[in-house]
Structure 1
Amino acid sequence: MSATLAGLAALAACGTARTPHPARPAPSAPSPVVSRPPTLAPGPAGLTPVFKNGTRTPDKTVALTFDADMTADQGPRAAAGEHFDNPRLIATLRAMRVPATVFMTGRWAEQYPVQARSIGRDPLFEVANHSYSHYAFTGDCYGLPTVPQERMRAEVERAYAAFREAGVRGVMPYFRFPGGCYDRRALKALASTGVTAVQWDVVSGDAFATDAGAVARQVLDGVRAGSVVVMHCTRSAAPVSERAVRMIVPELRERGFRFVKVSELIGGSAL
């Protein structure tokens, strides 16, 4: 072997002749960030937190909320033709591009699954829990039957199950007590569910009202920045709600208010 060939062989043996590195794996795509709905921290002694209104900031936001009420024993009345839904109200909110939160009972979702599914899949709205049966969580609550304390958590869970059965997606971890009635026992019973109880600071007075103008005036007189307004989404029990909304919305917009869902108010309060 010549000196030149011997030198080349020695260089090769020392690895000077490089071989390509194996290709690096392509970086994996980042995992999608799943945003969780905002909730409030537990209250004193770990009780279910209660939200009544958002912050009173110059950003004039207001949340219209609608209770889709139907009690567990009202099936025969619905079968006889009584309407516990209000599709015209939902259509008006859509036409006016008004975000809203609908607190729905599980029994309502069972009675009107197509409407429940439509509301739940519309990004303009969010669905929250109003119990399964619309029975009261305290005694002496507008004449409603009472849920025993040991069944309170089951009322919430059964409503969520009814929403799933109806195909309602993305139900929020918010709960509204039937009649707005609660006490420490009820807050303790629901603590393990992780819900935030949502009340209100403006009562519309639309339940069983017959004068849409009076309902609108009551809302307009009471709304402040961060307000939560309680209304109803049931034709039989609140027949003038849709007409009242058509008066309320343009006036509040003229005053500089922006309509939001409850989740936005809670998110701002939890910061």
Structure 2
Amino acid sequence: MITLVRRATALCVLGASLAACGTAEAPQAPRPAPTASAAPSKPAPSRPPTLAPGPAGLTPVFEHGPRADGKTVALTFDADMTADQGPRAAAGERFDNPRLIATLRELKVPATVFMTGRWAEEYPDEARSIGRDPRFEIANHSYSHYAYTDDCYGLPMVSKERMRSDVERAYAAFREAGVRNAMPYFRFPGGCYDKAALGELTATGVTAVQWDVVSGDAFATDADAVARQVLDGVRPGSVVVMHCTRSAAPVTEQAVRQVVPELRRQGYRFVKVSELIGAANGRA
């Protein structure tokens, strides 16, 4: 679970230049109107915003949105389940939190859920329900929830050679559960990464998403303390990390019920991570 994280700086630059020129042409005859049987063309679906690769082509890292573009904040929830926790789930331990998802819906709060592939396999109906709700977006939190560096809060470590396949396996688990259009965003288990890990994930095309506000909900028993920590840390463009794992973050739903109305009272608008990345336009 996440407590404090090592942070890495990634410089992300997005840019494009367009040029157009034309020559005069003879007038053309008007095109015939389409027949009744002609099917109207459908616009191509827009691709989710991502950041350009960082220095040396490494996977870019996003921590927060622009500070000066209005009071927006993204609540993110890690749906953690490690690959070897199946026996604990079979014994009754709950790694999901339906009540939290219901509260987000009740309060009309958009959110980004960083889900492990193993979680989607354990709770396919919930994964599908979250993934098909336009209020939410699902992003990748690895398949195994094994660490991508050593010395990461006691998590087992995935080998360097398997990092890319671990990410791809999670996306495959989402598809198997019926999740459509999972986002090209990845959160490192434990928030731990290094240059080597960023290099291994370059070919996946993901943007790594960290955060700038740690809620402290992992293993917490005091919802008031969690809420205070979030409220004290939020700034315009913030990304808040919380958890959607009932057994390991039992007071998150209660904390959300305090955080949401207070931030709205302060003038904040809740958005998904994709909106912050789109607004950043390379200024993350």
Q: TM-score, normalised by structure 2?
A: 0.86
Higher helix share: 1
Q: 2:195 aligned with 1:195, yes or no?
A: no
Q: State the partner residue of 1:91.
A: 102
Q: 2:176 aligned with 1:165, yes or no?
A: yes
State the Cα RMSD in Å: 1.4
What does 1:26-175 correspond to in 2, within 5 Å?
Answer: 26=34, 29-175=40-186
- Residue number among 269, 278, 283 corresponding to 1:258 in the alignment: 269
Quote the offset at 1:33 in angstroms.
Answer: 3.0
Quote the offset at 1:31 in angstroms.
Answer: 3.9
Structure 2 distance, partners of 1:211, 1:24, is: 69
Letter of the aligned partner of 2:108 in structure 1?
A: R
Structure 1 distance, partners of 2:34, 2:237, is: 48
Q: Percent identity?
A: 78
Deviations 1:77-103, CA, capped at 9 Å, x for gaps:
000000000000000000000000000
Quote the offset at 1:26 in angstroms.
Answer: 1.9
Q: State the partner residue of 2:7.
A: none
Letter of the aligned partner of 1:234 in structure 2?
A: T
Question: Which protein is bigger by CA-based radius of gyration?
Answer: 1
Q: TM-score, normalised by structure 1?
A: 0.90
Structure 1: stretches of 5+ with no match in the other structure: 1-22
Q: 2:243 aligned with 1:243, yes or no?
A: no
Structure 1 distance, partners of 2:69, 2:141, is: 31
Letter of the aligned partner of 2:137 in structure 1?
A: E
Q: State the partner residue of 2:217.
A: 206
Deviations 1:49-70, CA, capped at 9 Å, x for gaps:
0000000025100000000000
Letter of the aligned partner of 1:226 in structure 2?
A: G
Structure 1 distance, partners of 2:264, 2:33, is: 54
Quote the offset at 1:270 in angstroms.
Answer: 1.5
Structure 2: stretches of 5+ with no match in the other structure: 1-30
What does 1:16-35 correspond to in 2, within 5 Å?
Answer: 24-26=32-34, 29-35=40-46
